[in-house]
Amino acid sequence: MGYVQRWVGALLTLIVFGTMGVTESGAQQGMLESGKQLYQQRCAPCHGPDGKANTPTAQALNPKPRDHTDGSYMNTLANDHLFKVIKQGGVAVGKSPIMPPQADLSEQQIRDIIAFVRSLANPPYKGN
């Protein structure tokens, strides 16, 4: 076997063994768990731990926070829109100024929250 063939074989072996155990569903699960934790800390006081926006705080606000389980509405929103509203607050997308910006979160943390919010929608989100 020639040098190039051995090199290609070694490279393929590294790729196969390097990706074993790392599945898309595993990565998605990590995103969901991280997103859930952040959501519980940052979003649940108003949107509720289940996303239904039925907390005492939510009932006292005007306008009321969005019900994240309402797939007929939530599934119409692009991920870029959700990213902007989380990062910059409600005012950034013409919504309530009561929703504060989460400017201290990293891009990955915001993507994790979006993944969790998407998991709440019923019917489940199947878009971008």
Question: CA–CA separation, 86 vs 66, rounded Å?
Answer: 13
Predicted confidence (pLDDT) per residue in 48-104, tens digit: 999 999 999 999 999 999 999 999 999 999 999 999 999 999 999 999 999 999 999
Q: Is residue 21 part of a domain?
A: no
Q: Is residue 2 part of a domain?
A: no
What confidence category does residue 17 fall into, taking pLDDT thresholds of 50, 70 and 90? very low
Helix segments in the chain, DSSP class H: 3-19, 24-42, 44-47, 56-60, 71-74, 79-88, 107-120
Q: What is the CATH number of the domain that holds 112?
A: 1.10.760.10
Q: Is residue 10 part of a domain?
A: no
Question: CA–CA separation, 15 vs 19, rounded Å?
Answer: 6
Q: Is residue 14 part of a domain?
A: no
Domain hosting residue 52, numbered range: 27-120
Q: What is the pLDDT of residue 56?
A: 93
Number of separate domains in the chain: 1
pLDDT exceeds 90 at position 114? yes
pTM: 0.78
Kind and range of the H or E element at 73? helix 71-74
